[in-house]
A and B are shown apart, each in its own frame.
Chain A
Amino acid sequence: MRWSFVFKYVGAVTFFLGLNLLLPLAFSLYYREGDTAAFLGSMGMALVAGALLFLVFRKEKNDIISQREAMAIVALGWTAAALFGAFPFYFAGVFDTFADCFFESMSGFTTTGASVMTHIETAPHGLLFWRSYIQWLGGMGIIVLAIAILPLLGVGGYQLYKTEVPSPTPDRLKPRIRDTAKTLWKVYLAFTLLAALLLMAGGMGFFDAICHALTTLPTGGYSPKNLSVAHFDSAYIDVVIIVFMVAAGLNFSLHYQLLTGKPLVYWKNPESRFFLGLILILCMAVYVDLFGVVYHSLGETIRYGTFQVVSIITTTGYATADFDQWPSMSKMILFLCMFFGGCAGSTAGGMKMLRLLCALKYCYKELFNLLHPHAVSSVKIAGKVVSDDIMRSILGFLGLYIALFALCAVVLAGMGVDFITSLSAVAATIGNIGPGLGAVGPVENYAGIPYPGKWLLAWCMLLGRLEIYTVIIFLVPEFWRK
């Protein structure tokens, strides 16, 4: 384990983040709302800190990165990004404590969208843009972006890519990892621009359209409006956002294949089929539960039911209705959706469809083997055998996910947070969703959580975004042994 090597990369990522602060700076210069100094200060800090780290360790050769180093680079790189991303909030004086700033920033980068901001609309535009933009950066992965753009991070790209991309088996679209990363970012950018244009066509202002597009595609869920998407109260905007949330919950390599002229990819891929089917079934169940009880017209039931289900299962976390007031079956379905998440290789959080699908097939295989003890069978996805290695890592992931969820919920409840709120707050942060139920429901926010609880939840978000192993590995004593 070469720490100087790790720090060199973390320095490069920090510097890169500093460069990204130019964009919100431009917005703040345009709107002139007194947050320019905050951006200049934060940018200076990130650039200086990043450059220093990089220069001190510049002598480390661009060598092959080991698995362990890749995990350290990704985990520390993300923590550094969240840390430096928090300074604009701090310098602009939006929050009283740095804990809140860090929570908001971490929630942004991990595309969680859990906010501690109580008066969103009065905040300066530059800051609101930054809040959306960090979600966009975090969605496709800031380290992969740095690999794609900075020429100095070439050699060990695959290890970093594999560690950051939320999938048990990352796709490789091009032979070189830099090209793969670039391709994915291009698809991502194209979808974001398309979403922004369609939102503007529905009457949304330029700034709001940009911000919403920047938080829909990464399934982030920050909105520059206090009422989130409900502010616009437009069926057209709801539909556009639903479509793009679903798109963001699908594997981005499928989108690339679609763009290269294979229209049936979504149907042919078992994971996306499972995902779309599951959404359909869950929506139906919610309609039945809501119709006549909460909404009296079928149109409203479908519009609000679909939006909330899609928003939660894709782990976006926008809200157009206060689902905390819905009947308990709908609430339960939404709570479960927090665990499901989107497809592997998407920007969504949660456990991911591919893992659930593999686990289900594995369970079936176990039952089958009980009936035929001598049968030899293997779990197959799209005609390909899932290797034992991958299966083990999937089952281990699911086990850890549930165990950490339970542990963190108990700890949060120990801080005096009520039962429903603790459960849903941990589920909503570890799954990168955002709003939960109870005191952290869609019309509430996380400002009321005690400070130690905020640090814990911020850690849960990182845990969820980097898919547990990368973060939890630091707690394993073996990691620190030579």
Chain B
Amino acid sequence: MKIIIVGAGEVGYHIAGRLAAENKEVVVIDKNPESIRRVVESIDVEAICGSGSSPEVLKTAGIKSAGMLLAVTDSDETNLVACLMVDAIAPSTRKIARIRQEDFDAYHDVFRDQAPHIDTIINPEIEVIRSIEHLLSVPGAADVSEFAGGRLKFVGFYLHNGNPLIGGRLSDLPAKLGGHTLVAAILRGEELIIPEGRHVLHEGDLVYFISEENNLSRILGALNLRVKPIKSVMIIGGGRIGTRLAAVLEKRPIHAKIIERSESRCRELSGLLDKTVVIHGDGSDQGLLMEENLRDMDAIITTTNDEETNILVSLMARRMGTPRAITRLDKFSYFSLMPVIGIEQVVSPRLSAINSILQHIRKGKVLSVRTLTGEQGEIIEAEALRTSDIIGKPLRKKFFPTGSLAIGIIRGENIIIPSGDSVIEAGDRVIIFTRRQVVSQIEKILSVKLEDI
């Protein structure tokens, strides 16, 4: 199946890279010759320099034989027009568009049912707000994803000096953590480890646990982390993400302050938000942060469009003693640097967009996809179909390829953290952790062989 990607920005570029590595036919369209050059020189995909909303360019890209269109430019308008053109030229092509403006929020259904017929609309900002909420809900976690409506949590923690788990073998962990928990993956520097009993935890590892929600406190206990509810939050940057976040926090018993540099935007914000304190000023001004009592607040969330500012403000806040700092980051090349300089909680609208798009590209009944930081691994949640090979055999029979691990089974109301004896039944939702290299094999295992209705 050919996939056409309109927009070779960070999102388009990374999706193209992922798909090319999985041997899919990809054509990328972008207006900027520099972006096109970057794509051509590092990814094995066809790249066309031109406007993605132009029907001529879309035809050259082979839209008529394409199975899917991803419109992920930075401009909502371009994405909408690209979908509209494709709807006219090749109506059977599946369309996924990234649309971010809040004004369009109410019209997502209209876009699906009427003219552009966009199959899926992705708003990474909504996803990012969700990730921030998840991060706030688990203290000390560097990465949190939820499955089964929040009852199953996938949580990553860094093991710092003095952590009681350092030096322990994985086979000894169940005794400490109880049976409802499993170590799903370990990220050691750049290396991704699919855990086995013999592995030993090192200092500096990023350890991913999968756990039932009510067992989370045991993990936190084992990690020596105290659960302290968040009561006050400082938001830096009153852009779209900052504003949406403040609006979400207002609905909870959380006191929020938002610092925005532009005075006119502050005026707008004071109209949009009710309980949140809107402060006009430079978020990177230490004096202002002191004045606003940052050191006594429970968390700071930096959401400006300028990631360097976000990083610096988060670092400053950590030095001033703020217990939690969540940083918005977009440039992927910075991700691996963050733990080194002490920034652990990172959210990225682009990574969120990539996650949602991958979920929709995956074949079979894939319900959700999460990418790990560093892009080395993916978590796929999928429905086990009756015709699939994975049904009815104990997991130890190893029908999943090396480099992948079943980390959770959701059967109706029950959640099973699998062991070698667990058996997957038809209709189960299976959560699989997989290395990027074996994603296509997993896809093959999960997808339906004959049309199963």
Chain A residues packing against B (C-beta within 8 Å): 64, 67, 154-159, 172, 174-179, 387
Contact = CB atoms under 8 A, between A and B. Distances in A.
A175 B25 contact: yes
A175 B26 contact: yes
B441 to A, nearest CB: 15
Closest 10 CB pairs of A and B: A175-B46, A175-B25, A64-B42, A177-B44, A172-B46, A175-B27, A157-B44, A175-B26, A176-B44, A175-B45
B42 A176 contact: no
B36 to A, nearest CB: 11
Contact of A154 (B25, B26, B41, B44): B44
B25 A158 contact: no
B248 interface: no
Given A64-B42, A387-B33, 6 more contacts: A157-B44, A158-B40, A175-B2, A175-B46, A176-B23, A177-B44
A176 B25 contact: yes
Nearest to B66: A175
Interface of B: 2, 20-21, 23, 25-27, 33, 40-42, 44-46
A254 to B, nearest CB: 17
A154 B23 CA distance: 9
A159 B45 contact: no
Contacts of B26: 175
Contacts of A158: 40-41, 44
Contacts of A155: 21, 44
A161 to B, nearest CB: 10
Contacts of B23: 176
B171 to A, nearest CB: 30
Contact of B46 (A64, A157, A174, A178): A174
A175 B5 CA distance: 12
A160 to B, nearest CB: 11
Nearest to A180: B46
A66 to B, nearest CB: 8
B2, B40, B42, B44: which has the most chain A beta carbons within 10 Å?
B44
18 contacts: A64-B41, A64-B42, A67-B41, A155-B44, A156-B44, A158-B41, A158-B44, A174-B25, A174-B46, A175-B26, A175-B45, A175-B46, A176-B20, A176-B23, A176-B45, A176-B46, A179-B25, A387-B33
A67 B45 CA distance: 17
| A contact face: mostly helix, strand, loop, or mixed | loop
A327 B20 CA distance: 58
A376 B44 CA distance: 36
A215 to B, nearest CB: 32
A157 B40 CA distance: 11
B365 to A, nearest CB: 27
A178 B46 CA distance: 12
Contacts of A387: 33
Nearest to B42: A64
A224 B27 CA distance: 45
Contacts of A64: 41-42
A64 B41 CA distance: 8
A159 B41 contact: yes
Contacts of A176: 20, 23, 25, 44-46
Nearest to B28: A175
A62 to B, nearest CB: 10
Contacts of B45: 175-176
Contacts of A174: 25, 46
B26 to A, nearest CB: 6
A156 B26 CA distance: 15
A387 to B, nearest CB: 8
B244 to A, nearest CB: 37
A318 to B, nearest CB: 37
Contacts of B44: 154-158, 176-178
A177 B20 CA distance: 11
Contacts of A172: 46
Contacts of B21: 155
A120 B107 CA distance: 78
Nearest to A66: B41
Nearest to A67: B41
Contacts of B2: 175
A156, A158, A179: which has the most chain B beta carbons within 10 Å?
A158
A211 B40 CA distance: 38
Nearest to B27: A175
A156 B20 CA distance: 11
A474 B399 CA distance: 50
Contacts of A156: 44
B258 to A, nearest CB: 41
A265 B45 CA distance: 25
B49 to A, nearest CB: 10
Contacts of A178: 44
Contacts of B33: 387
Contacts of B20: 176
A156 to B, nearest CB: 8
A178 B20 CA distance: 12
A150 to B, nearest CB: 15
A125 B20 CA distance: 45
A154 B45 CA distance: 12
A179 B20 CA distance: 13
A179 B27 CA distance: 13
Nearest to A159: B41
A64 B45 CA distance: 13
A159 B33 CA distance: 17
Nearest to A70: B41
Nearest to A173: B46
A159 B40 CA distance: 9
A136 B46 CA distance: 28
A338 B173 CA distance: 76
Contacts of B46: 172, 174-176
Contacts of A157: 44
Nearest to B49: A387
A67 B25 CA distance: 23
Nearest to A157: B44
A172, A174, A175, A178: which has the most chain B beta carbons within 10 Å?
A175
A174 B26 CA distance: 9
A178 B26 CA distance: 13
B332 to A, nearest CB: 15
A67 B38 CA distance: 12
Contacts of B25: 174-176, 179
A387 B27 CA distance: 22
A176 B27 CA distance: 9
A176 B2 CA distance: 10
A292 to B, nearest CB: 53
B374 to A, nearest CB: 15
Contacts of B40: 158
A427 B88 CA distance: 55
A156 B42 CA distance: 7
Nearest to B25: A175
B16 to A, nearest CB: 10
Contacts of B27: 175
Nearest to A178: B44
A64 B23 CA distance: 15
A158 B38 CA distance: 12
A280 B33 CA distance: 38
A156 B40 CA distance: 10
A177 B27 CA distance: 12
Nearest to B48: A172
Contacts of A175: 2, 25-27, 45-46
A236 to B, nearest CB: 42
Nearest to A387: B33
Contacts of A179: 25
A429 B271 CA distance: 78
A179 B24 CA distance: 11
A387 B34 CA distance: 13
A172 B20 CA distance: 15
